[in-house]
Structure formats: C-alpha cells, structure tokens
C-alpha cells in the first residue's frame, strides 16, 4: 500500500473548492508517455495552474501501472525543480484514474498511490451504478482519496469507453445519487462527447466558412443540476475542441481524419463560470502530437532519432496546454 501523500500528490478536494470560488476549472489532461507528462508539467508550472494528471485503463495497460506510479512521482519532483529554477510557486498535482471500470481497478490504483479515482458505472442500471460507486467511495475514503462518479452516458469512442448514443443526466436523480454514494464530484452528460468525431455532420450546422458547428451544450440541464446540488463539484468529460489546424496538418501529411468536430472553446469557457470545476481534455493532445509527428516525418523523411520528432511534438503540447489554462479554463495563476 502506497499513500499518495508519500508521493507528494494532492487529492482534488481543495482544488475544486478553490476552482468554484474563483470561477475557473482545473484542467484534467490524460497522458500515456513521457513526452506528454513532461509537456503537462512544464505548461502548468509556467502558467501556474493546478493540474490533474489522468490515467485511463488503457494507459495503465500500455505504460505499465508500476511505471505510471513512478512517473507520477517523477512529475512531482520535476515540478518542484522547475518551480525553483524559474522562481515560481509549486503547483498542486493530482494523479487520477479516468473511467475506472470496476472496484478492483479503482482499488489497485488507490493502493499504488493514486490520489483520486473515477468509477464509471453510468452504463449500468441506476441502482447498480449506486452500489458500485458506493463500494469504491467507502474504500477510497479510508485513505482520503477523492472519488468521481458519473450519471448519464457520453457518446463517442476514447480508449476503452465506447457508446453510440448519449444519455443526458437527469437532474432529478443527482441528489439521490450523491447522497447515497458519497462521491466527491459528479461527471455529467450535457452534450459533450468522447473522441475526435464528437458529432456527426447531420447533427451540426455550417458557418459561412463551411466549418461544422456542433449543437450547443445543454446548459439548462447544468443549471437544473446546480439547483439540486448547490456548490457541488461538477465534471465535464469529452471536452476537447478538436482544433481544425491540427486536423488540417494531419490530413495534409498523409492522415485521414474525416468530419472531426469538437466543442467550441467558448462553450467550455462559459461552463467554467458554473459549478464545473474539472474539465477533461485528451483528444486535443493526441491530435496536436500526431499533427507534429506527421509534419516532421513529411518534411524530414530520413529522420529516425525519436528526440527529433517527439521533441517538437512535446513543444506543441506545451503551447496547447498553456492556451487551455489561460484562455479556456481560466486556471492560470491560480496557485
């Protein structure tokens, strides 16, 4: 059993209290490899933003769960060293399991030093979701680990999360769910979606430039949830904007990403003024990393040094994360 406190990590309780008071959202960025975690830490230290490092079940399988734990610990040490060198404040960092699918997965993460876990029982019948979520909460709270639950289903595909259709969160269920499970935060479905193709062309309209514009988020549902759960931390999943520039670079350099549509950043910025205090972003990082790699390979086809293509990809990620912190989530200079 490894306590997250011994690794220097923070849970999300204070992060969310500060975010709601300051009307901003804490970024939750997924990572799978060294370059991604380096970029996240660099961007968040330099922009002085708290951050949640997210690990999916797929990432645990890909990177090895033991290595991931020590990557989290290494991120803390990197953050401290960087902050000292630059004369900046140290930032709070949480290590979070994204879309935990079982009690066993959540327990394994808690035991290995994660400071926060998500148990996603949203695809189960309501009472099963409550029972599973409460079981995780009861165990996690023994070790002061925070737990995120989910009501409603997001459409789309990302890692092990697959759903053809979304089911909006029912505001009339949230009080019962939160009170019976004891969760610390609640992921809701109000129109966000997983992956780079969040909406079909048929669901969108086109602006004067011919760009697909997705349907707006269901802010009325969010407002109804806030009325039922005043001051309770709300989480948005599937919140990548799917930047057209990155998609264009990918497709111009041999890629084939068709009809990619994300969430307008203005929608996310508006959401942060509410009880939404955690916003999950994964696909945007994947797109910019892929765009940079494809561009390097197209322009330098003889290149075989990983540092020469992963380095530029890391730099692109740093700029993207800084932009999200400063201009979208409002989390810059909040430590």
DSSP string for residues in 130-170: HHHHHHHHHHHHTTT-EEEEEESB--EEETTEEESS-B---
Give the chain's length.
335
Find how far residue 99's CA is from the centre of its chain. Answer: 10
pLDDT per residue as tens digits for the range 298-313? 999 999 999 999 999 9
Q: How far apart are CA 162 and CA 169, in angstroms?
A: 17
Residue 98 annotated among the catalytic residues of the structure: yes
Pairing outcome for strands 212-213 and 116-119: unpaired
pLDDT per residue as tens digits for the range 211-252? 676 667 888 999 999 999 999 999 998 778 888 899 999 999
- pLDDT class for 162, splitting at 50, 70, 90? very low
Q: How far apart are CA 231 and CA 138, in angstroms?
A: 22
DSSP string for residues in 19-86: HHHHT--EEEEE--SHHHHHHHHHHHHHTT--EEEEEEHHHHHHH-HHHHHHHHHHHHHHHHHHHHHH
- 206 φ/ψ angles, rounded to the nearest 5 degrees: -120, 140
> What average pLDDT does this structure show over 64-76?
89
Residue 79 has pLDDT above 60, yes or no: yes
Query: Are 259 and 200 within 8 A, CB to CB?
Result: yes
Domain annotation for the chain: domains and CATH numbers = 4-329 (3.20.20.70)
**Which pLDDT score is estimated for 216?**
74
Mean pLDDT of the chain: 90
| Type and span of the H or E element at 213 | strand 212-213
Query: Residue for token digits 């690990």?
Result: 55
Residue 165 has pLDDT above 60, yes or no: no
Q: How far apart are CA 174 and CA 187, in angstroms?
A: 11
- pLDDT class for 256, splitting at 50, 70, 90? very high
Neighbouring residues of 310: CB distance < 8 A, sequence distance ≥ 6: 35, 293
Q: Which of 98, 101, 184, 284 is catalytic?
A: 98
Q: What tokens appear for 120 in the block? A: 């996603």
pLDDT per residue as tens digits for the range 147-156? 999 998 765 4
Q: How far apart are CA 95 and CA 90, in angstroms?
A: 16
Neighbouring residues of 237: CB distance < 8 A, sequence distance ≥ 6: 150, 154, 187, 192, 194, 280
Reported as half-sphere exposure (CB side, CA atoms, 13 A), residue 303 has a value of 17
Query: Residue for token digits 């892929």?
Result: 290
Q: How far apart are CA 168 and CA 42, in angstroms?
A: 36
| Type and span of the H or E element at 306 | helix 306-323
**Which pLDDT score is estimated for 238?**
78
pLDDT: which is higher, 29 or 194: 29
pTM value surpassing 0.75: yes
As to burial, measured by CB atoms within 10 angstroms (0-12 exposed, 13-18 middle, 19+ buried), residue 152 is buried
Nearest to 237, CA basis, from 99, 329, 136, 110: 99
End-to-end CA distance of the chain: 30
Residue 23 has pLDDT above 90, yes or no: yes
Q: What tokens appear for 299 in the block? A: 């322009």
**Which pLDDT score is estimated for 105?**
95
């Amino acid at each position: 059993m490894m306590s997250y406190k011994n690794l220097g990590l923070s849970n999300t309780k204070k992060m969310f209290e500060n975010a709601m008071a300051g009307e901003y959202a804490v970024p939750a960025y997924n990572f799978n490899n060294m370059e991604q975690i380096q970029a996240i830490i660099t961007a968040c230290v330099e922009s002085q933003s708290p951050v949640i490092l997210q690990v999916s079940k797929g990432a645990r399988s890909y990177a090895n769960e033991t290595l991931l734990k020590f990557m989290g610990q290494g991120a803390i040490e990197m953050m401290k060293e960087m902050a000292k060198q630059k004369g900046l404040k140290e930032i709070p960092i949480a290590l979070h399991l994204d879309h935990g699918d079982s009690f066993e997965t959540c327990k394994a993460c808690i035991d290995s030093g994660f400071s926060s876990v998500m148990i996603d029982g949203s695809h189960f019948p309501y009472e099963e979701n409550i029972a599973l979520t409460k079981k995780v909460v009861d165990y996690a709270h023994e070790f002061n680990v925070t737990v995120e639950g989910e009501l409603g289903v997001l459409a789309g595909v990302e890692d092990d999360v697959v759903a053809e259709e979304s089911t909006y969160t029912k505001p009339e269920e949230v009080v019962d769910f939160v009170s019976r499970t004891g969760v610390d935060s609640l992921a809701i479905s109000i129109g966000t979606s997983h992956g780079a193709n969040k909406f079909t062309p048929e669901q969108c309209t086109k602006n004067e430039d011919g760009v697909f514009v997705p349907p707006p988020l269901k802010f009325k549902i969010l407002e109804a949830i806030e009325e039922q759960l005043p001051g309770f931390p709300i989480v948005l999943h599937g919140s990548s904007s799917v930047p057209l520039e990155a998609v264009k670079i990918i497709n111009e350099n041999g890629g084939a990403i068709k009809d990619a549509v994300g969430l307008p950043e203005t929608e996310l910025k508006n959401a942060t003024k509410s009880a939404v205090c955690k916003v999950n972003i994964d696909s945007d990082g994947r797109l910019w990393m892929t765009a940079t790699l494809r561009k390097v390979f197209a322009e330098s086809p003889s290149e075989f040094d990983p540092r020469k293509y992963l380095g530029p990809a890391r730099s692109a990620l740093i700029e993207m994360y800084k932009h999200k912190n400063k201009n979208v989530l409002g989390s810059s200079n909040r430590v």
